[in-house]
Amino acid sequence: MTIFQRILAGEIPAKIVHEDNDILAFHDIAPQAPVHILIIPKRLIPRVGEAHDSDAELLGRLLLVARDIAKVQGLDQTGYRLIINNGRDGGEEVPHLHIHLLGGRRLSWPPG
């Protein structure tokens, strides 16, 4: 089980900011910005590169939930970044698709 599956199972506590039938969002335990929230599907999709066409609706909903959380966090006026890592060279650490929502400070480009 990945750490995200363990959070979903209630084995590991998380500071949850959003939950519905398909999606969970919570604060990252090692934040890289003042606001750093992870948004995950409850159904395991290891990475975006392994998503199926049948996942299209869920993938779209992940982005809309990220938008809504950014508004609640007050980031919609100043800006924020959404990041999806795919594979080792892409910076993926947990093989469970997730979106990083970062904001609350000016973010540099390129990211690294």
DSSP string, 25-49: EEE-SS-SSSEEEEEEESS----GG
What mean pLDDT is predicted for residues 3-29? Answer: 98
Q: Which CATH number fits domain 3-103: 3.30.428.10, 3.40.50.300, 2.120.10.30, 3.90.1150.10?
A: 3.30.428.10
Local structure of residue 76 (DSSP, 8 states): T
Question: How do residues 60-108 score in pLDDT, each as one tens digit?
Answer: 999 999 999 999 999 999 999 999 999 999 999 999 999 999 999 999 9
Q: Burial level of 111, CB count in 10 A (0-12/13-18/19+)? A: exposed
The domain ranges of the chain are 3-103
- Predicted TM-score (pTM) of the model is 0.96
Query: Rounded CA gap, 79 and 84, in Å?
Result: 17
Query: Rounded CA gap, 37 and 66, in Å?
Result: 9
Q: So which residues are the catalytic ones?
A: 98
Instruction: With cut-offs at 50, 70 and 90, classify the pLDDT of residue 112.
Output: low
**Is there a contact between 27 and 83 (Cβ–Cβ < 8 Å)?**
no
pLDDT at 110: 87
